[in-house]
């Protein structure tokens, strides 16, 4: 094997610093404070990673870390991570990556204690029908639920509910249980047929004026098993889905508050910021997006009429080119004015 040094073009040495953070038992939220500017070279730096240190100090049986971003990075003020320490004190490794020649100061982190202790360790496990997300990178909440007759239908929305686990339902139905006082910790929306998962995105309300990063359909928003409730949600459509459908949503909260329907893009939250216990997302076909008769729909069948935003009860639309019914000749048409008017 040659002793020549590695090609320097293959590697770029970054400016890296590591810190050990010691935490007592409890639930913590780590956020990046505003101020650090990203490099303009497309690297996405600076970035922060939270992980367990090597060796016995890591205590993986007592510490769990869950980032809100699927890739696990904290790269901006909107990014955050949750740390649950079941039995403290315990240490967490904080690693900061910066561009090699940057003159900027390293990003500053703020640690917020959300609870003195958490009961998450004693909670029942989530149903096996829904795959658990990895702590550092939440995976899509793909689920399969048994339908009447033994058929397996994937739910369009799945929520992780306090002391219950994962529950699912179709869009338009309520997810969670109104009046149960059991909050929702995380949720995912995966539309089936009408729009593609990548055409919908959503956020969770974490505090007053504080929302989680946008995630697209199929991805977990919030957390699972961290005992941290969501305080509301925000949903919007993208691309052709936003042109073809309107999106509204409602929610109920553990203090008895009910909010909605709320228009797409607006936060749905209680004035008291009480935890959310149930929500409903409704997609409605826009009036100007009627599918012509005979054309194939997204599901492969032929259109026979669609419910529009101004329609009632899901009636059938009128086919283009088909004339409206005309009263038979010889029969008078009832007057439209007041009786006796001249």
Domain layout of the chain by residue ranges: 12-118, 129-287
Judge contact between 20 and 92, C-beta under 8 A.
yes
Model pLDDT, residue 41: 64
Q: Determine the Cα–Cα distance for residues 124 and 163; give it in Å rounded to an integer.
A: 7
pTM of the model: 0.56
Residues 326-335 have pLDDT tens digits of 444 444 444 4
Model pLDDT, residue 79: 76
Residues 5-41 have pLDDT tens digits of 556 678 888 889 899 888 888 888 888 776 656 656 6
Strand-pair category, 145-146 with 152-153: antiparallel
**12-118, which class in CATH?**
mainly beta
The chain-wide mean pLDDT, for the chain, equals: 74
Judge contact between 62 and 117, C-beta under 8 A.
no
Judge contact between 83 and 92, C-beta under 8 A.
yes
Residues 272-312 have pLDDT tens digits of 989 999 999 999 998 844 444 444 444 444 433 334 444 44
């Amino acid at each position: 094997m040659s002793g020549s040094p590695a090609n320097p073009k293959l590697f770029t040495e970054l400016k890296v610093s590591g810190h050990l953070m010691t935490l007592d038992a409890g639930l913590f939220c780590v956020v990046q404070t505003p101020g650090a500017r990203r490099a303009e070279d497309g690297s996405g730096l600076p970035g922060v990673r939270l992980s367990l240190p090597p060796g016995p100090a890591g205590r993986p049986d007592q510490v769990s870390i869950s980032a809100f971003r699927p890739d696990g990075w904290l790269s901006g003020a909107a990014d955050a991570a949750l740390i649950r320490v079941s039995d403290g004190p315990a240490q967490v490794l904080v690693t900061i990556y910066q561009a090699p020649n940057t003159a900027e100061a390293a990003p500053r982190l703020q640690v917020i204690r959300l609870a003195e202790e958490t009961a998450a360790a004693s909670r029942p496990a989530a149903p096996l029908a829904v795959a658990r997300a990895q702590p550092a990178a939440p995976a899509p909440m793909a689920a399969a639920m048994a339908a009447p007759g033994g058929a397996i239908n994937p739910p369009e929305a799945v929520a992780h509910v306090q002391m219950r686990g994962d529950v699912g339902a179709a869009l338009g139905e309520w997810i969670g249980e109104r009046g149960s006082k059991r909050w929702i910790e995380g949720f995912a929306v995966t539309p089936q047929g009408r729009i593609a998962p990548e055409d919908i995105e959503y956020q969770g309300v974490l505090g007053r004026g504080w929302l989680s990063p946008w995630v697209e359909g199929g991805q977990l928003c919030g957390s699972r098993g961290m005992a941290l409730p969501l305080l509301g949600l925000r949903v919007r459509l993208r691309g052709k889905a936003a042109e073809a459908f309107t999106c509204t949503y409602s929610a109920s909260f553990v203090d008895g508050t009910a909010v909605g329907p709320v228009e797409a893009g607006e936060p749905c939250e209680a004035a008291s910021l009480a935890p959310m216990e149930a929500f409903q997302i409704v997609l409605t076909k826009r009036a100007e997006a009627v599918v012509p008769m005979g054309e194939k729909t997204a599901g492969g069948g032929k259109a026979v009429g669609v419910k529009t935003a101004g329609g009632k009860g899901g009636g059938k639309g009128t086919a283009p080119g088909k004339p409206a019914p005309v009263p038979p000749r010889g029969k008078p048409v009832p007057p439209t004015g007041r009786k006796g008017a001249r």
